[in-house]
Amino acid sequence: MNNTGSILFCVQCGTPVRQEEKFGRLRPVCPACGWIYFTDPKVAVAVVVLEGDRVLLTRRMNPPFQGYWSLPAGFMDAGEDPQAAARRECLEETGLEIQIIRFLKVITGREHEHGADLILVYEGKAHGGILQAGDDADQAGFFSLNSLPPLAFSSTQSMIDTAINRNPGYK
């Protein structure tokens, strides 16, 4: 791969690939063996944890949007169960163990160059652990729904709104 994420050589035979129109778009194609490279989407998970009139957020330690706040979230590993990934990301970033309550929505479209193509959003409930920032978060805490810190992504507010709308007691 080069720095744009494009394949330069065939993974089957090592021949330099060339860009050809295949299946409606330009794709790397091997002129020797015919292998075609299809880019897999990047998939992430996020968790909305509501506690009373507060929501759990983490502050981003790294760019992009360093110092801004978002939900506990991160990329899924290949073969990983999405709910297990959501629980893992929440534990890594906040120190809290959660139970998945329900699936909320799928968000599509990258908000930045290194972001996910798909975000699977869950609602969770904390049931253990000790609140402490970890992994790629330098702070974690619960914030009033009426007084949120600066959010890193527009999708963060959308995810919170979806969870609130699914919980009639928050309206």
pLDDT tens over the chain, length 171 residues: 544 457 999 999 999 999 999 999 999 999 999 999 998 899 999 999 999 999 999 999 999 999 999 999 999 999 999 999 999 999 999 999 999 999 999 999 888 888 899 999 999 999 999 999 999 999 999 999 999 999 999 999 999 999 999 887 765
Q: Which residues belong to CATH 3.90.79.10 in the chain?
A: 43-170
Specify the CATH number of the domain 1-39: 2.20.70
Q: Which residues belong to CATH 2.20.70 in the chain?
A: 1-39
Q: Which helix (H) or strand (E) holds 24?
A: none
* Four-way CATH pick for 43-170: 3.10.310.30, 3.50.50.60, 3.40.91.10, 3.90.79.10: 3.90.79.10
* CA distance to 22, 36, 86, 101, per residue, from 122 (Å): 36, 34, 7, 7
- Decide: 49 and 55 in contact? Cβ < 8 Å: yes
Report pTM. 0.86
